[in-house]
């Protein structure tokens, strides 16, 4: 399942319009439509905002697994989602790399502060 398909499926499950999510992201409806139609990709921070608005884990959007809906439990605590517990190895590596980059950035900023 593509990212666009996951976005659309999650949006429909919450009964949200494209216009609403476009407003949440501060983009045009056309831009958001392009995300769902896989014509363009949202950046990571946009994926985070979408996930928060839809009450879905960011990892569900970024993993290779599809979103799973359990429609008998649409009023339950997990909003009808069945979360996958195993993450793809590549996704874990990407997060580890991102954490390393952030650690390096923090160390650099601390050096700058110490010089003052």
Mean pLDDT value of segment 82-97: 66
Tokens of 103: 């650690």
Q: From residue 53, how far is each of 89, 91, 103, 107 by CA, in Å? A: 27, 22, 28, 32
Q: Count Cα neighbours of 79 within 13 Å in the Cβ-side half-sphere.
A: 15
- Please state the CATH superfamily assignment of the domain spanning residues 3-84 in this structure: lambda repressor-like DNA-binding domains (1.10.260.40)
Domain residues of the chain, as ranges? 3-84, 86-116
pLDDT, one tens digit per residue, over 21-56 is 999 889 999 999 999 999 998 888 888 889 888 888
- Specify whether the CB–CB gap between 110 and 82 falls below 8 A: no
pTM tops 0.85, yes or no:
no
For 6-85, list the strands marked E by DSSP: 68-69, 81-82
């Amino acid at each position: 399942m593509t990212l666009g398909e996951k976005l659309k499926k999650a949006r429909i499950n919450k009964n949200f319009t494209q216009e609403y999510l476009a407003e949440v992201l501060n983009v045009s409806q056309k831009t958001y439509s392009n995300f769902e139609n896989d014509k363009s990709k949202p950046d990571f921070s946009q994926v985070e905002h979408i996930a928060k608005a839809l009450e879905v884990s960011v990892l569900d959007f970024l993993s290779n697994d599809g979103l799973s809906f359990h429609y008998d439990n649409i009023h339950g605590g997990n909003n009808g989602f069945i979360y996958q517990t195993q993450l793809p190895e590549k996704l874990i590596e990407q997060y580890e790399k991102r954490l390393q980059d952030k650690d390096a950035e923090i160390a650099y900023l601390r050096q700058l502060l110490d010089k003052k």
